[in-house]
Amino acid sequence: MSSDPALPTYVYKLVPYTAPPPTPLPPVLPVSELDEKSGFIHLSTAVQIPGTLKHFFTDHPSVYILRVPYAAIAKDVRWESPDAKVCGPRPGEGLFPHLYNGQKLGRDEVDSMQAWQRTEGDGWDQALKQAEEWLVY
């Protein structure tokens, strides 16, 4: 648990997939087009994951969720507002963790990973429900 109650224990990276991830994870994973354009890696807290799925992953049938211990990357994280031009206003979600470390995220940072699949017609609700114990709020 983080020593500061305002800081999360974990942050999460959502990645769409169509094939199994490499095992083990490589030292550095490829970055998304959005991450590359932004110059940092977009992360979410557990509370922010439903909104991130809704705004960025409605057209993807499956995603990997990478769980990253916040303490391991804290020195390179900036808490910033989401750009409303990209996804519209996201009231109630607060600032987002953005990783500024040369876009390096891989096996040394990732604690664990889950593969989630979207239920047609239900969105991501079932996947979120099944992951309740794994997501740390």
Q: Cα-Cα-Cα-Cα dihedral of 123, 129, 132, 137, to 10°? A: 50
User: CA neighbours within 13 Å on the CB side: how many for 41?
Assistant: 24
Q: Does the residue 57 lie in any domain?
A: yes
Look up the domain containing 40 and give its range: 10-127
What token pair was written down for 6?
């305002």
20 confidence band (pLDDT: 50, 70, 90)? confident
pLDDT in tens, 29-86: 988 888 999 999 999 999 999 999 988 898 889 999 999 999 999 999 999 987 655 5
Determine the pLDDT at residue 105: 94
Dihedrals φ, ψ of 50, to 5°? -55, -40
Determine the pLDDT at residue 1: 45
Q: Does the residue 51 lie in any domain?
A: yes
Q: Does the residue 2 lie in any domain?
A: no
Q: Does the residue 136 lie in any domain?
A: no
Q: Does the residue 4 lie in any domain?
A: no
Q: How many domains does the chain have?
A: 1
Taking the model in full, what pTM does it have? Answer: 0.88
Supply the CATH number for residue 106's domain: 3.20.170.20
Determine the pLDDT at residue 82: 76
Average pLDDT of span 8-37: 89
Apex 46 CA angle, 43 and 52, nearest 5: 55
Apex 136 CA angle, 60 and 39, nearest 5: 55
| DSSP code of residue 67 | E
Q: Does the residue 3 lie in any domain?
A: no
Determine the pLDDT at residue 83: 66
Which residues have CB under 8 Å from 92's CB, separation 6+? Answer: none
Q: Does the residue 1 lie in any domain?
A: no
pLDDT in tens, 89-117: 555 567 899 999 999 999 999 999 999 99
Q: Does the residue 133 lie in any domain?
A: no
